[in-house]
Amino acid sequence: MAVLTDTVRLKLLRGLMRYWSSEWSNIPVNKAQLAAAVNATDDWLDENSASLNSSLPEAFRTTATVEQKAFVLACVALARRNPDLVKKILGGID
């Protein structure tokens, strides 16, 4: 997976700020701190993508696209802490 461009990181930051201001209570960090968290997370994903890929079962690893692998990662991470949001994204979890 490629690192996000600065423009995409900024759009993601704005989206997170909108989401938290409408869905959750305020997060106790300022805009620069949240931007640093977005950047660090993106950098970590870039640095660890090979490790994630090698941990996937061979059948999925060799046939799924990078986008499909990223979607699985995002859904699993969200399901750990916000299963209701994953239900909204997927249209339900049976």
**C-beta separation of 13 from 42 below 8 A:** no
The CA-to-CA distance between both ends of the chain, in Å, stands at 29
| Judgement on whether residues 16 and 35 belong to the same structural domain of the protein | yes
Q: Residue 33: give the domain boundaries.
A: 1-55
Domain count, the chain: 2
Residue 28 phi, psi (nearest 5)? -80, 50
Please give the DSSP secondary-structure letter assigned to residue 30: -
How far is C-alpha 71 from the geometric centre of its chain's CA atoms?
A: 8
- 49 with 9, same domain? yes
How far, in Å, CA of 10 to CA of 32, rounded?
11
- Tell me: the pLDDT tens digits for 41-67? 999 999 999 999 999 999 999 999 999
Q: Give which of 10, 61, 76 is closest to 39, Cα–Cα.
A: 10
Same domain, 84 and 42: no
> Are 40 and 6 part of one and the same domain?
yes
The reported pLDDT for the residue numbered 1 is 60
> Which pLDDT score, from 0 to 100, does residue 16 have?
82
